[in-house]
Amino acid sequence: MFFDNYFTSLQGSISSIESNELSNIADLFLQTSINGKKIIFVGNGGSASIASHLTIDCINAISLRAVNFNESSIITCLANDFGYENWITKAIDFYGDKGDLIVLISSSGQSANMINGAKKALLKGLRVVTLTGFLKDNPLSKLGEINLWVNSIEYNKVEMTHHIWLLSIVDFIAESAKKESES
């Protein structure tokens, strides 16, 4: 009973997205690449793992330049010197270039480091996409050009939904490229 309800709930979260929102993000990924820029994926905790997975899939599966900030020495150095709430802003100072796309993944949309990172990215001329959950009107969601929101307050459901949505974008781009090469 638990698993049936769990998977039904998760399926509802995954299916709650409008396809055009995912297509719009796929277009941003491709525009970023065409412009010679990179995609930066950032998250805390489980969302950092999603950021790592997406970085690898963008590089390996669809040949888009992508990075993340999951190197522990970068995080601990910048957090120690500038405060945890500012480490992402400092990483953007060092690694973010005007025209890059940053994808900020946060279940709550309330983390100060993510909010500060989004504000810094906008100031530097990066395009911003956010993925959030919990409260629809969270601070991070107000800062993205596009925000994907999961209507759940359960971390695993929010994170798994974010992960599947982002991976579906990679698979969409890969499938589109395959069809293009076949014609």
pLDDT of residue 12: 96
Q: Of 65, 44, 45, 43, nearest to 55 (Cα)? A: 65
Supply the Cα-derived Rg of the chain in whole angstroms. Answer: 16
Q: Which two tokens stand for residue 130?
A: 């956010």
pLDDT in tens, 153-167: 999 999 999 999 999
User: What percent of the chain is predicted at pLDDT more than 70?
Assistant: 100
What's the average model confidence in pLDDT over 102-131?
A: 98
Q: Quick check: 138 pLDDT over 90? A: yes
pLDDT of residue 181: 83
pLDDT in tens, 4-36: 999 999 999 999 999 999 999 999 999 999 999
Q: For the domain that residue 90 is a member of, what is the CATH number?
A: 3.40.50.10490
pLDDT of residue 78: 96
Q: Which residue is listed with tokens 């929101």?
A: 149
CA atoms within 13 A on the CB side of 121: 28
- If one counts the domains in the chain, the total is 1
Its pTM stands at: 0.95
Q: Of 150, 173, 177, 167, nearest to 52 (Cα)? A: 167
Q: Quick check: 180 pLDDT over 90? A: no
Q: Quick check: 174 pLDDT over 90? A: yes
pLDDT of residue 48: 96
Distance CA 151, CA 16 (A): 9
CB atoms under 10 Å from CB of 81, counted, come to: 10
Q: Quick check: 42 pLDDT over 90? A: yes
Q: How confident is the model at residue 179 (pLDDT cuts 50, 70, 90)?
A: confident
pLDDT in tens, 75-97: 999 999 999 999 999 999 999 99
Q: Quick check: 99 pLDDT over 90? A: yes
Range of 15's domain?
2-182
What's the average model confidence in pLDDT over 48-58?
A: 97
Q: How confident is the model at residue 182 (pLDDT cuts 50, 70, 90)?
A: confident
